[in-house]
Structure 1
């Protein structure tokens, strides 16, 4: 777990900590796609109690990252590379809404959260730190969800963001980390500048960039 992830999770309620840790392990494939696990195994794995883990499982199942198999246990969602472009296509509209609303509403202290995510991404790129980038990306997504005045867009985008990180981690292209960081930073700078139009354009550019990566891995 990166320093960012540790900082993000330490102050959260137990159910939120359980969710973040299990989501992280699914995204980074520590919980292998398609594998079967039990509730008890997850409790042992992350060292939290039955109630918070059960709440986390319910949320992960709703987001499509895990499914409950009667008499078989819990199945981690399979990973089909053909689904990555579909996830990105669905993300585009809600993400543009979130970027534009963040630019319109940007103010202290939220701007510090966006700056921290941007700085963490730069640091991750310099160190080729994939875990650090994923955690910074999660920090950005959380900030977008918190600042927006459109909760409907946030509810659509949130599960798609987790799926997208998972696909990116598994199928990233050579040089994909630096390219992805540059794309995210362009969005953050526009939002910090309170430039609503450019923020939307930069978000569309970022989705296009990720779409190219997705199509490249399909050959």
Structure 2
């Protein structure tokens, strides 16, 4: 898992705008409960109106912001007890994806998993929580691609984004190494083609996140 990262293929502008705006929300650069505008986002992110609007629509559907006509865009608040709800919703679908990924993993998708693991371990060494979140998203995308189940992937994606946001708020300062180990265990099981182990490790990661969420809800 110490291979050098591979070069990514170019992405459509709309996908880049979505990822940039999602990153700002997840890393709290756009503060929970704050209000911004389409024009401000266009100016700050450097994308045109159409890709920004597409990103806004998608993030609104995912529950990360609220479109308020003539009043701007309200960033979703962060209520610690909601993290538990997100994790419980994720639990079943993560096992489905991990099991399917182990069953269908190919040489190409295996490279994506190794690249995500490399970036995740590099982020841990650097103590860089934002880089870790980017690697975590890369892993989720690799899992979705390998599992070949777009229905499960579409269900999981917004829950994963909400969970990253909670994790960044409540756990990023202390939980990098532990979180990385949980993810690496899933990757190993997938690359071994072990469906049962992959589902088991996915559930173990949800248990770890649940413990963090329970602690956060007591703050």
| Distance (whole Å) between structure 2 residues aligned to residue 8 and residue 160 of structure 1 | 27
The equivalent of 1:122 in structure 2 is 121
Deviations 1:25-63 (A, max 9, x none): 000000111111110000001001000000111111011
Whether the 8 Å CA contact 1:9–1:17 is kept in 2: the answer is no
The equivalent of 2:3 in structure 1 is none
The equivalent of 1:144 in structure 2 is 143
The equivalent of 2:53 in structure 1 is 54
Whether the 8 Å CA contact 1:36–1:74 is kept in 2: the answer is yes
Change (3 A) 1:174 1:129: closer
Alignment root-mean-square deviation, CA: 1.5
The DSSP-based 3-state class of the residue aligned with 1:11 is: coil
Structure 1 spans left out of the alignment, 5+ residues: 1-6
Offset of 1:88 from its aligned partner? 0.3
Offset of 1:9 from its aligned partner? 7.9
Whether the 8 Å CA contact 2:26–2:165 is kept in 1: the answer is yes
Structure 1 position 24 matched with structure 2 position 20 = no
Change (3 A) 1:15 1:173: closer
Structure 1 position 134 matched with structure 2 position 133 = yes
**1:5-154 matched pairs, under 5 angstroms:** 11-154=10-153
Structure 2 spans left out of the alignment, 5+ residues: 1-5
Change (3 A) 1:9 1:43: farther
The equivalent of 1:182 in structure 2 is 181
TM superposition score normalised by structure 1? 0.94
Whether the 8 Å CA contact 1:96–1:204 is kept in 2: the answer is yes
Change (3 A) 1:50 1:8: farther
Offset of 1:10 from its aligned partner? 7.7
Change (3 A) 1:9 1:30: farther
Deviations 1:91-125 (A, max 9, x none): 00011000000000111111000001111111111
The DSSP-based 3-state class of the residue aligned with 1:109 is: helix
TM superposition score normalised by structure 2? 0.94
Offset of 1:149 from its aligned partner? 2.6
| Distance (whole Å) between structure 1 residues aligned to residue 87 and residue 174 of structure 2 | 19
The equivalent of 2:194 in structure 1 is 195
Change (3 A) 1:124 1:173: closer
